[in-house]
Structure 1
Amino acid sequence: MNISIILAAGEGTRMKSKLPKVLHKVCGKPILQYVIDASKGANVEKNVVVVGYGGDITKEYFKEEPIIFKTQPIGEGIPYGTGYAVMQAIDHIDDNSTITILYGDTPLITESTINKLINYHNKSGFQATVLTAIFEEPTGYGRIIREDSGNILKIVEQKDASEEEKKIKEINSGIYCFDGKLLKYALSKIDNNNAQNEYYITDVIGILKEEGHRVGAYIIEDSTEIHGVNSRVQLSFSEKIMKDRINERHMENGVTIIDPSNTYIEDTVKIGRDTIIYPGVSLEGSTEIGEDCIIRNNSRIVNSIISSNVIIESSTIEDSQVGENTHIGPFAHLRPNSNIGENVKIGNFVEVKNSVIKDNTKAGHLAYIGDADVGHDVNIGCGVIFVNYNGKEKFRTTVGDNSFIGSNSNLVAPVKVEARGYVAAGSTIVEEVPEGALSIARAAQVNKIGWVEKKDLIKDK
């Protein structure tokens, strides 16, 4: 059985945040989520997460995940250290299991690397395996000292390394595989007799080696995967690497991204092939984009479903759906729960909220459509306002198929315009418009000849 122990108890003081470090996000997902997903993707059957600072918040966030939480005590006199953190999960270490030690602040680790590490450990017959990396500048890291056979002889920390050992470029990532029974045994043997008064997981390696067990090392292919997040600067580094990975994945799947360095796509977004993404676009949350779409500059789409052959120009779409062959923008705003049909035009500075707009309807410019049910083949003129709020409650407006709403009209909800109803420009509609009727709801024009001269409003120049 494969079991992971994910250490996520650190406070992350350098983050200078009220939020637990592992809940800070990279491309829309908490950094701990990436580690959990990578572990599950590597066919690890049981994932144990050790939390400490902000543990209740972390547990609440991941309450739907099939993971086990263990809490590391916090307070004065607690010894701490990586070894102490692993001890908190000892009840979940099975004798016949392979245990992988991971860190909750390494969002760049991949399921491929975890899977390769576990397979290497098991197939090579090691009792412990260290994931290592080659760094051109290894200062600050523990060095890997190998035997002639290639197995690990020991791990030497920077402060304890000789000048010759400091030249070694292979470093300890802190990620390990252990045989479950031997890990439990070695944890019972380590002590905190050191300057920091902490229990270190590296001591487990030393104990197993001294007792004649084989300790191997697997060199990671991409050393950026072991990059940890302890500050906002390091968070930014992880964000950049993850953003590049996500953009490359979409491009490899047939999406054109004009300028990947200026395009933000979160990990959970899906995009169909032959869609073109222009610079400045932000795609977030559970957004799904169909095939053959064009998403032009400076558009933001959040938790929305965009069907195929849609053009979106410099617009914001939130928690909404857009049908095929529809054109949105420029500068349109679809607020939550907007359901836009096929071949619809939502144009310049049009705002839609909590509304259904059916096929072939057009709202070209400068309109507000809120809490409405609009039929198909409707024309909504410039400056039309769906007046949905009386200061206390929201009300709905219904506009039937093939209707025409003239420019600068107000539809005061609750109100209904029946099919083929026409509203004259400048009208304020407060009563039902019958099917096929023309409704004119504006004051009669009165021209008072000579009024300006009588009021002496024109001055001689």
Structure 2
Amino acid sequence: DQEAIADILPVGCERAVQQERRGTGDAVRAGLEPLERFRGDVMVLYGDVPLVHAGFVAALHRRHLEAEAAATLTTSELADPEHYGRIVRDDDGGVVRIVEYRDATPQERAVHEINVGLYVFRADALRPALGRLTSDNDQGELYLTDVVHLLLADGHTVASFRSDDEEMCRGVNSRVELAAVNAAMRRRLVERLMLAGVTVEDPATTYVDYGVEVGRDTVLRAGTHLLGRTTVGAACEVGPHSFLRDAFVGDRARVVSSHLHECVVGSGCSVGPFAHIRRNTVLAEGARAGTFVEIKNSRIGERSRVPHLSYVGDAVVGQDTNIAAGNITANYDGYEKHATTIGDRVRTGSDTVIVAPVNLGDDCVTAAGSVITRDVPPGALAVTREEQKNVEGYAARRVAERRTAPPS
């Protein structure tokens, strides 16, 4: 996905597009087009080798400069080289060529030294060599690896730089290999957090995206997923089995077995278990969203509580308010969404339905089981339920009626 890649490129990067998939050599040719006047060194890294890190890239370039080479390629020796291109050397140990697996002889396939897919080229040597590539091979493509043989034939120096980090050199050619490198990257990111003072209860079941930030002394319980641009503050507890995507969580907050998506959870807040905090929701400092609570596109004020079994949508709730069990903000009339405003220090009774648009003033109270359809003044009690009526002897009469009723 070209647009997805463009979104993560640093400012100032220019992209080039290979219009037809004609092989790695043609891809590099397309990449050089915006660099027509460039005369320095060009680094080429295959996109399916995702675990290469900046320190190794810098070391490779140093090796290239020291060797005064036209090209320097990265190699590694794998116990099971599988389908990787093989490095063919002469009796003196110099690189002769790179042969792709599908074009290799049985003798060449027995070689365990592989081409990693990370190179440095001198631009003035690379350009003419790319122009001489042919598609005379098993796949009918223009191989970048053939540039090595062409440069050597022209008398240029080709150096190699070996890595013993087998994990870093692993490429991705199947879903199995993709899962393996994902696991390696996840382990690397989790270890980085632990070295920075984060406690990860079970690294094997903790998923952390690149770019996620977690503060010191936070505890990540088993099964936690921190994805996208998520930030978690210091001294928090997240999990077990919490899922956060593009969420901000302040210091000293707890998120237990809950889902958070594009929301802000303030310092000292408590979420869950089994809460769903949805897009554009803000829980202010000290607020609580408890068991089986869903909140969407709302602001819950400082120290306010939605403790259990409630839905709050398109609402603004003030400070020190308590939304009792089973409350619903009925925000949708079948055509449009409507807003609810609930003031400071409000107490709603259990099973209250608030039909938007409506305002509940500061310090007001709603009786349990009420359906609120009109504004409630500050300090008032709103009661909309019917008066209770007890029918004496009802149960006995009902039993008698069933006994005397004709068979159906």
Q: Same fold (TM over 0.5)?
A: yes
Of 67, 71, 89 in structure 1, the residue corresponding to residue 14 of structure 2 is 67
- Whole-Å Cα distance in 2 between the matches of residues 353 and 196 of structure 1? 53
Equivalent residue number for residue 272 of structure 2: 329
**Structure 2, unaligned stretches of length 5 or more?**
404-408
Equivalent residue number for residue 438 of structure 1: 381
- Higher mean alpha-carbon deviation, 137-146 vs 400-409, is at 137-146
Cα offsets for 1:282-335 (capped at 9, x unmatched): 111111000000012111111110001011111111111111111111111111
- Whole-Å Cα distance in 1 between the matches of residues 150 and 258 of structure 2? 61
Cα offsets for 1:32-91 (capped at 9, x unmatched): xxxxxxxxxxxxxxxxxxxxxxxxxx33333444332222435xxxxx332233233343
* Shift in alpha-carbon separation, 1:272–1:348, aligned structure 2, 3 A: same
Note the C-alpha offset of 1:455.
Answer: 4.6
- Whole-Å Cα distance in 2 between the matches of residues 202 and 332 of structure 1? 54
Report how many aligned residue pairs link the two structures: 396
Cα offsets for 1:365-415 (capped at 9, x unmatched): 111111111001011111111111111111111111111111111111111
Equivalent residue number for residue 180 of structure 2: 237
* Shift in alpha-carbon separation, 1:399–1:228, aligned structure 2, 3 A: same
Are the equivalent residues in 2 in contact too, given 1:349–1:367 (CA < 8 A)?
yes
Equivalent residue number for residue 98 of structure 1: 41
Of 82, 87, 102 in structure 2, the residue corresponding to residue 143 of structure 1 is 87
- Whole-Å Cα distance in 1 between the matches of residues 341 and 118 of structure 2? 60
Of 95, 113, 121 in structure 2, the residue corresponding to residue 170 of structure 1 is 113
Equivalent residue number for residue 281 of structure 1: 224
Equivalent residue number for residue 35 of structure 1: none
Equivalent residue number for residue 122 of structure 1: 65
Equivalent residue number for residue 196 of structure 2: 253
Are the equivalent residues in 2 in contact too, given 1:227–1:238 (CA < 8 A)?
yes
Are the equivalent residues in 2 in contact too, given 1:276–1:292 (CA < 8 A)?
yes
Of 128, 141, 147 in structure 2, the residue corresponding to residue 185 of structure 1 is 128
Note the C-alpha offset of 1:453.
Answer: 4.1
- Whole-Å Cα distance in 2 between the matches of residues 299 and 195 of structure 1? 49
* Shift in alpha-carbon separation, 1:215–1:94, aligned structure 2, 3 A: farther
Cα offsets for 1:259-279 (capped at 9, x unmatched): 111111111211111110111
- Whole-Å Cα distance in 1 between the matches of residues 279 and 375 of structure 2? 27
- Whole-Å Cα distance in 2 between the matches of residues 332 and 261 of structure 1? 24
Equivalent residue number for residue 83 of structure 1: 25
Cα offsets for 1:318-354 (capped at 9, x unmatched): 1111111111111111111110011122111111111
| Residue identity opposite 2:205 in structure 1 | N
- Whole-Å Cα distance in 2 between the matches of residues 175 and 373 of structure 1? 54
Cα offsets for 1:92-150 (capped at 9, x unmatched): 354522111221222222222222212221233111101111212335431241664x6
Are the equivalent residues in 2 in contact too, given 1:272–1:292 (CA < 8 A)?
yes
Are the equivalent residues in 1 in contact too, given 2:16–2:30 (CA < 8 A)?
no
Note the C-alpha offset of 1:192.
Answer: 3.3
| Residue identity opposite 1:256 in structure 2 | T
- Whole-Å Cα distance in 1 between the matches of residues 240 and 149 of structure 2? 56
Higher normalized contact order (CA 8 Å, seq sep 6+, divided by chain length)? 1
Of 292, 296, 309 in structure 1, the residue corresponding to residue 252 of structure 2 is 309
- Whole-Å Cα distance in 2 between the matches of residues 95 and 305 of structure 1? 43
Equivalent residue number for residue 44 of structure 1: none
* Shift in alpha-carbon separation, 1:431–1:127, aligned structure 2, 3 A: same
SS in 1 for 2:43: strand
| Residue identity opposite 1:143 in structure 2 | I
- Whole-Å Cα distance in 1 between the matches of residues 341 and 139 of structure 2? 71
| Residue identity opposite 2:69 in structure 1 | F
- Higher mean alpha-carbon deviation, 328-337 vs 222-231, is at 222-231
Are the equivalent residues in 2 in contact too, given 1:327–1:344 (CA < 8 A)?
yes
Q: Percent identity between the aligned chains?
A: 35
Are the equivalent residues in 1 in contact too, given 2:99–2:145 (CA < 8 A)?
no
* Shift in alpha-carbon separation, 1:199–1:62, aligned structure 2, 3 A: closer
Q: Does 1:367 align with 2:314?
A: no
| Residue identity opposite 1:302 in structure 2 | R
**Taking structure 1 as the reference length, what is the TM-score of the superposition?**
0.80
Are the equivalent residues in 2 in contact too, given 1:147–1:153 (CA < 8 A)?
no
Q: Does 1:110 align with 2:57?
A: no
SS in 2 for 1:71: coil
Are the equivalent residues in 2 in contact too, given 1:284–1:303 (CA < 8 A)?
yes
Equivalent residue number for residue 406 of structure 2: none
- Whole-Å Cα distance in 1 between the matches of residues 121 and 398 of structure 2? 97
